Amino acid sequence: MAIQKIAEKEKEIVIEKKIERSKKDEYAAPADRVIMILFGATGDLANRKIFPALNSMNRQGTIPKKFRVIAIGRRDYTNDIFREKVKNSIEYFSTVKSGKNTDSFLKIVDYLKADFTKEEAYAKLKRKIEEEENESNLLYYLATSPDNFGVIAKMLKKYGLAHDKKNKFWRRVIIEKPFGSDIASAKRLNKMLKHGFPESRIFRIDHYLGKELVQNILVLRFTNIIFEQLWNQKYIDNVQITVAEDAGVGRRGGYYDSAGALRDMVQSHLLQLVSLIAMEPPVSLSGRDISSEKVKVFRSLTPLTSKDVETNIVRGQYSAGVVKGRSVKGYREEEGVRRDSDTETFVAMKLTINNMRWAGVPFYLRTGKRMKDRFANIIIQFKELPCVLFCDVEGGMRPNMLTIRIQPEEGMETTFNLKTPGSGMDIQSVRMNFSHEAEFGPNTPEAYEKLIYNTISGDTTLFTSWKEVEQSWIFIDPIFKVWRKRKPRFPNYAAGTMGPREADMFIRADGREWNFN
């Protein structure tokens, strides 16, 4: 019996040490020696986002002192040719144009021609890392199709590149959405990644979480008593989240046609925004504690019945139209899109959260391609006061609103009622406006700069945990099951509009309107 107790005690100590090591790994300070291995280095994501972000970080001094990039691609480039292409990408896509700082950044970028779908690529990569500096932290950025995640993780483990035997240096991996196409594929994807990396070392990027105003949601809520006291069903009438895009699918037609707006935007970006608005105060600001509260929100979402999908969700697909004075083609005419495609480019939906704070408060979500304008905002509409003193005044009383503007102009504003100048008692809704750029200047770090920096720092706060991914798919999956049984009447909205008429009708059925504020 005594021996068994000793064994159990020793087991507890081992577990505690593992947890402690995990915490240290997750929240370690930025390392001095880091090699980023970038898979898919010749792709669109690397050119548009990753290299411009790294160049900007180099200029600001926010990358480690000893930092190198090994860029892996299949094309037959020399170092000089590849660096010139990276320079062109920075010049075209970056807010910081090329110059002396860019030249210093290009010197730390090396190109490795290799086919990462084949085993010999990893032997080649291992030799390259050993040539660079064997004792370094390794950050793997998988800027590839999710179909390749499994083979990359498996091969990195096989060649001893997923773990440092001395436990002196960390090994981390960044992956981009989509995190599966349904709950079953998401589980398979997660299982493949776990072949090489534990959960604490997997960083799932949702770039919306890196946007400054999205990060400010927690600060707004939990540092301002005037908001937190009102942040519940007693005072809030409804919440509206809109992510509108005036662009079409561009060169992503092939990917988008297999995904659609529900997978591409709602399951990830919009549900993440819902969780930040709706979550309870976390125990701490650690990634683990914040994720725990977000998961509780996803688990509290009222499950959707077949009737809910029919009455509370609208899907659409754009036809040809005019966007900002320019004629554009319909979705089915876009490159890479099937001519009889039933993929949705627009989704509007109502969801509710079944807990004490949000009982009875509808959350209205809306997102689409080729809409009238490009903007993303969150509107908190408060309840109206009882009509007692100012029932018959000119203008009436409009409900107070708080708007969080995510893009293109970052900021916040509140609306409230005041008397207009003059001898009468006319009431007008006025705005108090905060502009992020006016207050802090235009040089706010881009989302990818912050996300890459946080990965190097081991801070998981701005990343999506597996439990969040799993619970969001559990909520979304029933929608597809209903949609598969009913063929949609597409296209059903013209490019340059705000979506199908049905999206306006279903919110009006609740006695509400979409707010543009």
In the chain, the N- to C-terminal Cα span, in Å, equals: 70
Name the percent of the chain in helix, strand, coil, to the closest 5: 45, 20, 35
- Residue 264's contacts (CB-CB under 8 Å, 6 or more residues apart) are 178, 256
Do the beta carbons of residue 339 and residue 348 sit within 8 Å? no
Q: Which of 163, 195, 207, 269 is catalytic?
A: 269
Tell me 409's DSSP state.
S
Coil, strand or helix at 430: strand
Q: How far apart (Å, rounded) are the C-alpha atoms in residues 360 and 348?
A: 19
Q: Please identify which residue in the block is written with the tokens 């089915």.
A: 332
**What is the total residue count of the chain?**
517
- Residue 352's contacts (CB-CB under 8 Å, 6 or more residues apart) are 301, 302, 358, 359, 360, 361, 362, 363
Distances in Å between the alpha carbon of 317 and those of 243, 331, 341? Answer: 16, 7, 9
Tell me 296's DSSP state.
H
Two tokens, residue 357 = 């704070």
Q: Is 269 a catalytic residue?
A: yes
- Residue 443's contacts (CB-CB under 8 Å, 6 or more residues apart) are 95
- Residue 478's contacts (CB-CB under 8 Å, 6 or more residues apart) are 303, 304, 305, 309
- Order the strands of the 202-205 sheet from edge to edge: 109-113, 66-73, 33-39, 137-142, 171-176, 202-205
Backbone torsion region of residue 324, taken as left when φ is above 0, otherwise alpha when ψ lies between -120 and 50, otherwise beta:
left
Give the residue numbers marked as catalytic: 269
